[in-house]
Structure 1
Amino acid sequence: MVEKTLSLVKPDGVAGNHIGEILNLYEKEGLKIVALKMIKINKEFARQHYIDLKDKPFYQELVDFISSGPLVAMILEGEDAVNTVRRVNGATDPKEAAEGTIRNKYAKGKTDNTVHGSDSVEHAKREISMWFPEYLDSYLS
């Protein structure tokens, strides 16, 4: 089934000049980039993005990191897009990420792990509505 999902190239991926390589990996997997922007978010936006993790001990570290510099947000579309992005990204911990995945190639740790991908279709819809409110009607229908 064709789905839309959200992916982020986090500040470490931007600082490391890996944006183009990451976009290329998604496109090679048959995903289409339907929206893309580079922005720097504030801590309040970061808190809302990670709201599901607010009770975790690493929550504040995630908020601080993702708001520390510019990042690239994108909507990707394709067959089973959520799972495809998660597979291409690799495990959250780069030490556990499969060979050739984004996190295996570029990530330094569990927080500075280069990319974010929605973990479900439900979360993808919520995240797209946050990051791309201007596309709400056309991209969530």
Structure 2
Amino acid sequence: MIQNTLVLLKPDAYLRRYIGACVLREFRSERTFKIKAFKEVTASRSLAEKHYDVHREKPFFKKLVDYLTLGPVIAMVVEGENVIPSIRLMLGSTFSEKAEPHTIRGKYGIWNGINVVHASDGDNTAKYEIKLWREEAGVEEMDFSRVNLLIDNYIEKWSKLRIDNTLKLREICRLISIGESRFEDCEQKIFKLLREECIDSDESIVKKFVKIIADNLQDQKK
């Protein structure tokens, strides 16, 4: 069955420039589906709230919105045979530290829900999300060659950096999660590692990124 799905490279993939390029390269090289739309978007709080509307009554709703509005995202519409389950398999477990090493989240996700990519989880969700991002953010289908050019230019621009601190960040988070380290003692190291990856982000954004990590670690303890 031919399906369409919405894929978002979340702010942690966008801000960590080399990571975003690596993720896009994996999507670009996949021949079983076609990327029909590609746009860099700064999501408003209203858009993020609508995107996560199904979780509105959950205690973690605000943190999801904070995360999605941390910085820009890359929004894509992808089409292919059974593309929804295929992409979710490609991404791996929602929680980065539990994702298999060969998956995108296993390779590039930092910890818990800081997992680099969102993808629609079913047909109805995909239809809702594609419509939402088209109407609220102008994520429109475009010529296939134009999409490929935009993606290739992005990859070429940022893949030269080769700054990937994922494993270092994940190990720090692991030690904090099992009580062998305190977040307060590791905060500056996390900031420094993120600063190396987020080469063109303001210091204030990186500090917010650190807080997002702290929130995820705190949620895991509850």
TM-score norm. by structure 2 comes to 0.58
Q: 121, 124, 133: which one pairs with 1:122?
A: 124
Answer with 1 or 2: which has the greater Rg: 2
- Quick check: 52-61 or 68-77, which moved more? 52-61
Partners of 1:101 and 1:58 in 2: CA distance: 25
Single out whichever of 17-26 and 88-97 deviates more from structure 2: 17-26
Q: In structure 2, what residue type is equivalent to 1:2?
A: I
Aligned length: 136
Distance (Å, rounded) in 2 between the aligned partners of 1:111 and 1:68: 14
> Could you tell me which amino acid in structure 1 is paired with residue 36 of structure 2?
V
Once the two structures are aligned, what percentage of the paired residues are identical? 35
Q: Given that residues 96 and 114 in structure 2 are in contact (C-alpha distance below 8 angstroms), is that contact kept between their aligned partners in structure 1?
A: no
Question: Residue 125 of structure 1 aligns to which amino acid in structure 2?
Answer: K
Structure 2: gaps (5+ residues): 142-222
> Over aligned residues, Cα RMSD in angstroms?
1.5
Q: Distance in 2 between matches of 1:23 and 1:39?
A: 15
Structure 1 position 8 matched with structure 2 position 8: yes
Check conservation: 2:105, 2:116, Cα contact below 8 A.
Answer: yes
- Deviating beyond 4 angstroms after TM superposition, the runs of 4 or more aligned structure 1 residues are none
- Secondary structure of the residue aligned to 2:3 is strand
Bigger share in helix: 2
Q: Is the 8 A contact 1:10 1:71 kept in 2?
A: yes
CA distance in 2, matches of 1:25, 1:84: 13
Unpaired runs of at least 5, structure 1: 137-141
When structure 1 is superposed on structure 2, of 45-54 and 108-117 the one drifting more is 108-117
Q: Any residues of structure 2 matched to 1:1-141 within 5 Å, and which?
A: 1-17=1-17, 18-29=19-30, 30-133=32-135, 135=140
Q: 1:98, CA displacement in angstroms?
A: 1.3
Answer 1 or 2: which has greater strand percent. 1
